[in-house]
Amino acid sequence: MFDLSGDPFVLFRSWLAEALVSEPVVHDAVALATVDERGAPSVRMVLLKDLDDRGFVVYTHFSSPKGRQMTRNPRAALCFHWKSLRRQVRAEGDVELVSDAVSDAYFATRARDSQLGAWASRQSDELGSRKELEDRMAAMAERFPDEVPRPPSWGGFRIVPERLEFWVDRDHRLHDRAEYRRTSDGWRGRLLYP
């Protein structure tokens, strides 16, 4: 079932394409785990917005807890679970900032309200009331009547995996697992016990 000498990005793309068809909502949702400077982990869902030839790209606020953690401690882990397919993919690796040009290009594709929302949100800071947020949205709509530029504190991070693991549910908990590790001359795949 697994091509252990193959490219795990090819397998990932085919699973993601199948998930697009079979998952009822947000097939591209993924748990992102980061670690703070004391070594304490935290995890939350984000959306996978791009998969380029280096890794997985997600977008967020740089000043959010996850943004600060990935800046100070540029290591992260991802976990996809597609319930409809009974499949899991895990990825671990270094984090790098996406270029301004790439973040700008992605931001430009977002709906205007989502663009304004990125300006209005002080992600994960204390919010006094819903009205406070709505007032900030209205203020941003006035500030940017036409095009909305990307906020300087919002953009993409790329998780560049050095390890990818594919898991498929099988009977009697005898699941299939394949691990791919990046080596100096390409990927090395092997099977793992369930």
Q: Is 99 in the site for ligand FMN (CB under 6 A)?
A: no
Which of the residues 163, 173, 181, 190 is marked catalytic? 173
Cβ proximity to ligand FMN: between 66 and 180 the closer is 66
114 binds ligand FMN (CB under 6 A): no
CB 42 within 8 A of CB 69: yes
**Is 54 known to be catalytic?**
no
CB of 63 to ligand FMN, least distance (A): 9
Q: Please report how the helices 130-143 and 112-120 are oriented relative to each other, as an axis angle in degrees rounded to 10.
A: 120
Instruction: Draw the binding track, 26-65, toward ligand FMN (x: CB under 6 A; -: no contact).
Output: x--x------------x-xxxx----------xxx---xx
Q: Which of 56, 57, 66, 93 is in the footprint of ligand FMN by CB under 6 A?
A: 66
Q: Is 153 in the site for ligand FMN (CB under 6 A)?
A: no
Task: Tell me the site size for ligand FMN, rule CB under 6 A.
Answer: 15
Binding site for ligand FMN (CB under 6 A): 26, 29, 42, 44-47, 58-60, 64-66, 123-124
